[in-house]
Amino acid sequence: MQLLQLSKKFFNCPIALCRGHASENPELPEALKAKGIRFLGPPAEAMKALGDKIGSTILAQAAGVPTLPWSGSGVAISFGECKGNIPQDIYDKACIFSLDEAIESCQRIGYPIMLKASWGGGGKGIRKVHSDDEVRQVFKQIQGEVPGSPIFAMKLAPASRHLEVQLIADRNGNVASLFTRDCSVQRRHQKIIEEGPAVAAPQEMLRDMERCARALAKSVGYVGAATVEYLYLIEEKTYCFLELNPRLQVEHPVTEGITDTNIPSIQLMIGMAIPLWRIPGMRATFSKDPNGTDYFDTNTTPQRLPQKHVVAVRITSENAGDGFKPTAGRVDEVVFKPTPEVWGYFSIKGGGGIHEYSDSQFGHLFASGPSREAAIRAMVVALRDVRVRGEIHTIIDYAADMLQSPEFVNNKIHTGWLDSRIAANVKAERPPWHLSVIGAAAVRAHEASACKAAEYLGYLSKGQLPPPDISLVYFQDDLVIDDIKYHVKVIRRGPFTFNVSVNNTAVDVVARKLGDGGFLLQVDGESHVLHTEEEAMGTRLVMDTLSCIIAKEADPSRLVALSPGKLVRQLIKDGEHVEQGQVFAEVEVMKMMMPLLCPAAGVIHFQVTEGAALSAGELIARMDLDDPSKVKRAEQFNGELPPLGPPQVYSDRVDHRFTQALNAAKMIMAGYNYPVDDILEELVSCLDHPALPLLQWHQEFSFVESRMPPGLAAKLEAVTAEHEQALGGSTADRSNTEFPGRQLIGIIKGAVEAAPENEQAMLQQQLEPLARVAKAHSRGPEEYARSIVQEVLSMFAGVEEKFQSSSGLTTEQEMIDALRKSYPNDHQAVLDLVISHQGLNHKMELVKRILSTLVLPNPVPYRALLRRFAALSSKATAEVALRAQQLLEVSLLADLRAVVARALSGLDMFAEADGKLSPTVSANVGSIFSPQPSGDQAGAAAAAGTLTGMLGGSTVVPRKATVREGVFSGLNSLMAPRSVSPHRHSSTGGAITPAVEHKIETLVAAPAAVEEALASLIVDNQDKYLALQYRALVTYVKRIYYPFLLCEPQVNQHGSMLAASWMFDDPRTAETSAKRQNVGAFLVLTSLKELSKGLQVVAAAISSLASQAGVHPSGSILHVAVCNGSDALAVSDGAAKLLATGGPLLGCEAEESFSSVELITSSGPRSPTATPKQITQVVAAAVKDASSLLKAMKVGTVSVLAAAALMPVRNGFVWDMEEQAYKFEPYLRQVEAPVARLLELDKLASQQAVYTPSRNRQWHMYHCTERKDQRSPALRRTFLRGLVRQLGSPAFLAAMYSMAADKVASAAVDELESALINCLEELTRPAPDHQGVTGRSDWVHIFHSVLPQLSLQGVDEGRVAGALRSACAALVAKHNTLFRTAGVAVWEMRFRVPGGAWRLLVSCPTGEADVGFRWQLGRLVPLQMLDKGSRLQGI
């Protein structure tokens, strides 16, 4: 009715319909004729006769057209006889009205059979059956799908081709055929690919098909365009009539392409009553003059043969990977670019969609070529370029693969070919599995992080606290692709960079979000465009033009709708049992009937009723599975990713590698994850490369060269060319070649000043990149590396300082809330800080490595940053805080070494212009203990100024903490006064300083721990001023044997060796009746291979000194120092053989076998390559090799100092009487043997203790853990031991002058207060140490060994005991909180008195003020009792 109204509105215009059911409805032309409107198509009689499948087949049989065996075989009546209205009795002979008739007809024809509804189409009312049982199952379904339609049965043709003849008939009875089309590629009897002309059958047979088609159309008086469809039986080489479509079909452009005609225009001219022989297009087809008017017979006149081949592909919204099931939904994008060979059309565009009630076809492509092969190639190329993105699936990829299949290319297909491919589960080309896994993992991680970030920002914007467990860096997921499950882990390397790992194989990938919602994926140096779409069964991933499904974990107990549609009928009753693979229901999807198969056996329970509309993913039924264990599940992938390169192709140039490494380090500081070791190694390697500045300069120079003023580029290139030439020299020359940054800055500055005033600002802006590079490298590579390190470390400090407990904020949530208030308008900044803080553990790994690798050799310039690190108070950052504190201490120890060097050298040497023995020893990159090369006055002055500032001068480096910690305790007299410059000269040219001898005595008795500084001066032989080494040796000996040295060390030089010998009292028996004197010796070597030669020298010195003193040298102590040199660790052949065995030597920790030659560096003594363990092994081998000589010398203890990268490494070996061999003694690694005796370390021999020094190195702490059994909690014990070298307070001196023993004892205890406080503060430091001992101890023992002797006469033990009790009680009460916090259980003191020692033990197990005391007063026990059971007998 609407068509009629529209036609009347537009002046009775003719109507031509080529698609849809209305075009085949005979009522339409009748109604139009009644209104006087011409219909561009067949008359109602012909349409009625041919539009019905049964009727058209009856008429075709009458016209002599071959047909397949069917239920109406033999039934015939011509159109002339019936005038298009077939009598009902004749029509009924071909129909089936009941199930019994259907079975009888099928048995007569022979299976397989196609049961069809005459009015059906689009998959409705058509079923293939193979048996009577199947007929019984589907007959009612066919009746229900097309109610009222007649049903017939037709033999299912075997392997056959679906061929069509295009007809055009005019109103004058002329009928022409426009060659043939081949539509054999079908699914569910619906066409997918068409091509023309047909080449599957012989030409004679094709011409006969055309003849029969023309005869059929002529016999019914057909007018307009029509298509006669045939089945060509391949084996029989015959054809059969299938049906006639009384309309113009959508594939008509195939015919137009091969005949160069315009069929719709021909239809219009036919409607104008123009005969075919007058239509220009038709005349050209028959090789006639298009403008001619002569008559020709279209039935007998030969046609012009096609000169082209055309291939057409229907674009449908079907899931080719799932049996071509229809899909519906949103369409986001449709991209098709026509070419001269390919054109097409689409019925939708981006932003549209396909609903569940429409036809699945929404596009059609046509490709032409001079041959079939050329047309196929053009179509494949076009399909690869088509992009349809949205919720729907398409067959584009599948069609492209199908066109390239051997069967299609070789034309070996048939009407069941595509269905057989579907049944065989032939899939379209997929993206490579590893790209699918990597892309899906990266995209899901990107979307998950974006979702979590949005959620986090949402909390902040609402003023709420986000949950504490939101992770934005680490993800893991299970991806199921083609029934294989991949467990993937994803780590964010940056905002767009991800690391995807599968089974311990990983690859980096870059994923950037595109404006259309997709992603640009970069992996293995290639780029891919990736889109994802969520579906009922999972996520569809489209990579470029290929797609795959990331499936959800299958749950066979839930039967869901895969796409929108309608549940037509339930084929199983609710609650009945179904078998696996059995059809349980039918749904109508996009005009197609789709069966639903049960994935597993069980009892079904429907959740929706028949006729219900279904949405994608909606639950249709639940299953009670018979055996859930038999359900097929995805197989776990146990393989690995293939070897893949980086996401982008990077240059191997040093500057590019440096940029990448620095960016990675910054990403780590931003909270992301990179391999710390690799990044740091690359960063250090690039910073150490001499060509880095030049390459960075060239990079910027290439951008601004063309905009430079004339001549400037030449000047700059001349300077850099000279530097480049120097870099091309020998390796030694290259290492000393400095980038001419200052010279380049001068040229740039001069060019800017020489430019006109109005151009200076612009020129300066243009040259700014070059000036920035030149300035960055103007102070040398060390300063540039320092700036990079400070930049990276500042990022860490800047973030973590905001997450420290302060202002009452104790939890991380409170700190985040404080940040939210601090950044009210920039919540993204808060999120960035949180992301960075979440990566704290990984950041700390990098920070610790940087501190150890780049800061440790020279920590002085980093003091400001180190103090920021040391101030971090949270438990999470405690390890870095402690490491920073240690480095601060190291930097102070470097200054301490400078103070010691100045004291032993004489200040007059620091005023000389040559800069020898510069106090800025820590400024050398190679070793903080190595003096700088001469000529660096500026560095010496700077370090001296820093040291002065540390003592209280005007400087940014505070000294308060150092004074409190006691690093320089007792050394004030050795430092330059604040009012006097270190470079101030006297009238005689020397610096104003005390005598060196006095300074040596000051160093010997000072509380400051100067042992390591003295040891480093001994082993550092780079300065040829041997007096310094001599004085350091003497001072070292006096200090470690203080106050038990009996004579001055006798030092003699023997070639390159120094040898010293002396007499001393055994510290444990001194001034007692059991006192024992012994001999000590010191040997300074340049190489361990000289040990045997040196021992001979020392043996003579010991023997001479012992004979003079009249003592036996048994149990003497030998000290050996190996100077810092290129062959310092070279050993004798015997020791080398011991090293080659690789086993433990003398009980020290085993190391892999190696040669000492590997540790000898050719680059000089400032590049030590040996680790402490390797040094220990080498020394142990040398000692073992020389054991016979040492035993002959009666040496009880051997202590060896060897130069290392930072501090000298000390190793001690003790003679074991039972085993008659030297054994490695771990406790002698930190202290020398005399000190170990004073600290009574033999009492700790049974403990497996871990050593840590105090911050000022004055106290020695030993940690151990004890358990009664495995279930009991661990008891952490700490033993803190130290020497008190000075007692000299006014109160103590006054007590000494009074000669009152009780006052002396009380004053001595009072003077220990500062040492006690220092120890307690050290014990309460809230940080772990570098050995892994974390937190405070449960039980602490403090032992102070006081070296100065208390001069007492007439001792009243009762009064002394009371005085000691009172003094100790007062101290414990005064510092009760510190005692309790530190967990001190015992405080033990040992005082030397004439004739023995006092030992006082303060027991405070609860930490309360009213503690009880146990004290012991008396002489020392005999030596034999002390040595009994001790592991330190040789000491």
| Residues acting as catalytic residues | 247
**Tokens standing for 720?**
């850099």
Q: Which of 520, 548, 521, 552 is nearest to 536 (CA)?
A: 552
Q: CB count, 10 Å around CB of 1150? A: 13
Amino acid letter, residue 589? V
Biggest alpha carbon distance in the chain?
Answer: 157
Q: Cα(419)–Cα(1398) distance, rounded to whole angstroms?
A: 104
Residues 6+ apart with CB under 8 A from 1422: 1074
Token code pair at residue 1142: 């690789």
Q: How far is CA 1038 from CA 1004, 1011, 1046, 1112, 1211, in A?
A: 6, 11, 10, 22, 20
Distance (Å) of CA 656 to CA 509, 661, 720:
19, 9, 19
H or E segment and range at residue 1065: strand 1057-1065
Residue 1320: Cβ within 10 Å count: 20
- Say how far apart CA 153 and CA 160 lie, in whole Å: 18
What Å distances lie between residue 1053 and 390, 1034, 1059, 1192, CA to CA? 90, 13, 6, 23
Query: Exposed, middle or buried by CB within 10 Å (0-12, 13-18, 19+), for 1402?
Result: buried
| Structure tokens given for 119 | 């009015």
Which of 1119, 1142, 1234, 1134 has its CA nearest to residue 1184? Answer: 1134
Q: What is the dihedral of CA 1038, 1041, 1047, 1050, to 10 degrees?
A: -60
Residue type, 1169: T
Q: How many helices (H) and strands (E) does the chain have?
A: 46, 47
Rounded to an integer, what distance in angstroms lies between the CA atom of residue 729 and that of residue 733? 6
Q: Give yes or no for a contact between 922 and 894, defined as CB atoms under 8 angstroms apart.
A: yes
445: phi then psi, degrees, rounded to nearest 5: -65, -40
Pair 1007, 1347: CB distance under 8 Å: no
Tell me the one-letter amino acid at 85: N
Question: Which residue, among 952, 1030, 978, 1037, has the nearest Cα to 1003 in the 3D structure?
Answer: 1037
Quick check: 515 and 525 in contact, CB under 8 A? no
Is the CA virtual torsion 1078, 1082, 1088, 1089 positive or negative? negative
Of 252, 234, 283, the residue nearest 415 (C-alpha): 234
Is residue 1116 packed enough to be buried (19+ CB in 10 Å), middle (13-18) or exposed (0-12)? buried
The owner of tokens 């039986």 is: 233
Phi, psi of 299 (to 5 degrees): -90, -25
Residue that is written with structure tokens 């196929």 in the block: 376
Residue type (1 letter), 894: A
Comparing C-alpha atoms, which of 84, 201, 98, 96 is closest to residue 154?
96
Report the phi/psi class of residue 608: left, alpha or beta, with left for phi > 0 and alpha for psi in -120 to 50.
beta
Please give the Cα distance from 490 to 447 (Å, whole number): 12
